[in-house]
Amino acid sequence: MIPLSTWIVWQLRKASYRWPARYGVWKAAKTAPNTFKCAKCGVAYYKEKKGRVLSLDHIIPCKDPTRPQAFQEDLIKCQCGVCDYIRKMFCGPEGMQILCQTCHPKKTKKEMTIRKKARKIKKLKGVK
């Protein structure tokens, strides 16, 4: 059985794909029919069928890199960190950007490195 917090995150992600602001971001990045510009490197990519050449990225990460388990902890404690996560996920077009498959993994890797460091610090302090 999966934890409640994991299931809620899955459902929120699924719902976010229909968030109208996402369509506005794609529309703003469109330079020609089926061609979209990466917000980081500025290269225009042609999107063929369902190939994932580009992806939508939240400028401010939904998960706080310095608090990797914040959503689960806040859900259990019923704190506003959960609301903060939802606000970040369902932000307006100004909080999202289109990134290519070269730039997006780089940005994600930086965020994951911060999360790993935060987890190690938390373990060393003995905080559960």
Summarised one tens digit per residue, pLDDT across range 4-48 is 777 888 898 899 889 999 999 999 999 998 899 999 999 998 877
* Token pair listed for 81: 């960190």
Kindly state whether residue 2 falls inside one of the protein's structural domains.
no
Residue 82 lies in a domain: yes
* In-domain check, residue 109: yes
Helices (H), ranges, 1-102: 4-16, 20-29, 70-77, 81-89
Is pLDDT above 60 for 128? no
Burial of 1 (0-12, 13-18, 19+ CB in 10 A): exposed
Q: Tell the burial category of 21 from Cβ atoms under 10 Å away from its Cβ (0-12, 13-18, 19+).
A: middle
| Confidence (pLDDT) at 96 | 94
Within a domain: 117: yes
Q: Is residue 30 part of a domain?
A: no
State the pLDDT at residue 86: 82
Number of domains in the chain: 1
Residue at 24 is within a domain:
no
Number of H helices, E strands in the chain: 5, 5
> Which is nearest to 107 in space by CA: 57, 54, 47?
57
Print the domain residue range for 124: 36-44+51-128
